[in-house]
Amino acid sequence: MTKRMIIRFYRDAASLRLALERGEIDIAWRTLLPQDIDYFMKIKGFKVIEVPGSFIRYFCIKCESSSLQ
């Protein structure tokens, strides 16, 4: 069970992608670029979730994180 969640805001999509790749964060939301979404869809250990809505938003989750086990 996750007892605490920290939310960080990133200035740009490149910083957010790098933080996700390095394992500094477990979930990315909102400002990833379409090519970043395509990239994470192909990388083992990441899961991209798509849901219907009035905006296009994606969650990219590093599923190998111990906090998500």
pLDDT in tens, 5-34: 778 888 899 999 999 999 888 888 777 888
Strand 59-62 and strand 46-49: the pairing is antiparallel
- Please report whether residue 53 resides in a domain: yes
The torsion angles phi and psi of 18, rounded to 5 degrees, stand at -60, -45
pLDDT at 42: 94
- Please report whether residue 51 resides in a domain: yes
pLDDT at 38: 92
pLDDT in tens, 24-68: 888 887 778 889 989 999 998 888 887 776 766 666 666 665 655
Domain that holds residue 51: 13-64
Structural contact between residues 16 and 32, judged by C-beta atoms closer than 8 angstroms: yes
- Please report whether residue 3 resides in a domain: no
Query: Among 19, 26, 21, which Cα is nearest to 67's?
Result: 26
| Count: domains in the chain | 1
pLDDT at 15: 93
Whole-structure pTM value? 0.67
